[in-house]
Amino acid sequence: MTTYTDKGEKPERGKFLRFHHVKFWVGNAKQAAVFYCDKFGLEPLAYKGLETGSREVVSHVVRQDKIIFVFESALNPGNEEMGEHLMKHGDGVKDVAFQVEDCDFLVKKAKERGAVIVKEPWIEQDSGGKVKYAVIQTYGDTTHTFVEYLGPYKGLFLPGYKEPLFRDPLLAKLPPGHLNFIDHIVGNQPDDKMVPISDWYQKCLMFHRFWSIDDKQIHTEYSALRSIVVTNYEETIKMPINEPAIGKKKSQIQEYIDYNGGPGVQHIALNTSNIIQAIVNLRARGMEFLSAPDSYYETLRQNLKRAKIKVKEDLKTLQELKILVDYDDKGYLLQIFTKPVQDRPTLFLEVIQRNNHFGFGAGNFKSLFEAIEKDQDTRGNLTVLTPERQGVPKAFY
Ligand SMILES: [Fe+2]
């Protein structure tokens, strides 16, 4: 595991501020939004559709504290762009939007350095205010939208969005999700693509390396992964980039790549300041999580006896809820991963609480992988790798 102290290049103008929202392209935006509201505690925030004059695409926007998800579907037959995306990837993340300062400058810089600009900067406005946007291509079919507020925005979400058509009375009766903000968003890449993609963030967006881990550290009996985390100068946006590594059986990263039809967002981590209450409530709402075996907690108890830090939370409760613990000499983090949130084994979510610890749970990757592999096996996808199979680097052919 490597942590990096060099913050790299400071943009001479402009700034990446934070994750603004995540946009999903799905088959049925209305129903997908309900799932995230019911299971995670998000609530309807805004809407765009036929009733508001949006004739081609419908958007359901849901929010919990600073977490905003936008679910979009095509309204008319023959929408090739959205149709092809759905055919290839299934329901999933289309765009990760960043709030920025000086959108024009950041786009110009990215373009000079070879980034593909999907949409040059443009402005939208309504009675709430004025917002500048631009869209830039990242890995696979995924994009980044830059969002710059040109003055204070007083509307519900962004220009053109109106009140949700319906607020489900059931939501007010459910226990709160206790989720506060997007901690990090992970992109899975095919073999050998992790370094070029993390280099792209460093070159085009002036991000820098924050943390990395290789397959010697992260492997199970069957499979392995490598990961590099890139972040903006202020370190407010964390984007881990993963790739599979050679193993005896198919890596879960490769399973993702196969079912997603290429690279894409693997998981979104949501930060909470009270993971115990959050997971009690999310479990009560019917969210399904991966389980660590009891042996994980036995080992953890032994190891914590020699640790320099003390975990404040009750270990018995953490064990009951299947929350994982990772730590170093200065702090610890608590985390748990959901099962895939659609039928394809692609996107899942993570809930994370940090206590002076800025890693990504490397100490838990092995048990996480083993839990995923158990599920992968039930899907018939923990297959033995032979040289003809995908997932084997060319060097091993
Ligand atoms: Fe994560």
> Topology of 11-171 in CATH?
2,3-Dihydroxybiphenyl 1,2-Dioxygenase; domain 1 (3.10.180)
Cα of 81 vs centre of ligand 1, distance in Å, is: 30
Amino acid identity for residue 291 in this structure: S
Question: Can you read off the two tokens belonging to residue 69?
Answer: 């998800």
CB–CB of 240/208 below 8 Å? no
Cα of 161 vs centre of ligand 1, distance in Å, is: 31
Q: Which residues fall in the annotated binding site for Fe cation?
A: 184, 267, 350
Architecture in CATH for domain 181-378: Roll (3.10)
pLDDT of residue 392: 40
Averaged pLDDT in 10-residue chunks for the chain of 397 residues: 86 96 98 98 98 97 98 98 98 98 98 98 98 98 98 97 96 98 97 95 96 78 86 97 84 90 98 98 97 89 94 97 94 96 97 94 79 85 66 39
Question: Can you read off the two tokens belonging to residue 371?
Answer: 């839990």
pLDDT of residue 397: 33
Cα of 186 vs centre of ligand 1, distance in Å, is: 7
3-state DSSP of the chain: CEECCCCCCCCCCCEEEEEEEEEEECCCHHHHHHHHHHHHCCEEEEEECHHHCCCCEEEEEEEECCEEEEEEEECCCCCHHHHHHHHHHCCEEEEEEEEEECHHHHHHHHHHCCCCEEEEEEEEEECCEEEEEEEEECCCCCEEEEEEECCCCCCCCCCCCECCCCCCCCHHHCCCCCCCEEEEEEEECCCCCHHHHHHHHHHHCCCEEEEEECCCCCECCCCEEEEEEEECCCCCCEEEEEEEECCCECCHHHHHHHHHCCCEEEEEEEECCCHHHHHHHHHHCCCCECCCCHHHHHHHHHHHHCCCCCCCCCHHHHHHHCCEEEECCCCEEEEEEECCCCCCCCCEEEEEEEECCCCCCHHHHHHHHHHHHHHHHHCCCCCECCCCCCCCCHHHC
Cα of 228 vs centre of ligand 1, distance in Å, is: 12
Cα of 287 vs centre of ligand 1, distance in Å, is: 18
CB–CB of 161/72 below 8 Å? no
Cα of 268 vs centre of ligand 1, distance in Å, is: 7
Q: Which residues fall in the annotated binding site?
A: 184, 267, 350
CB–CB of 349/279 below 8 Å? no
- The domain segmentation of the chain, as residue ranges, is 11-171, 181-378
Cα of 252 vs centre of ligand 1, distance in Å, is: 14
pLDDT of residue 351: 98
Cα of 160 vs centre of ligand 1, distance in Å, is: 33
pLDDT of residue 386: 57
From the list 8, 218, 207, the residue with the least C-alpha distance to 110 is: 207
Same topology, domains 11-171 and 181-378? Answer is yes
Cα of 358 vs centre of ligand 1, distance in Å, is: 11
Q: How far, in Å, are 80, 117, 228, 330 from residue 240 at the CA level?
A: 31, 22, 6, 22
Cα of 130 vs centre of ligand 1, distance in Å, is: 34
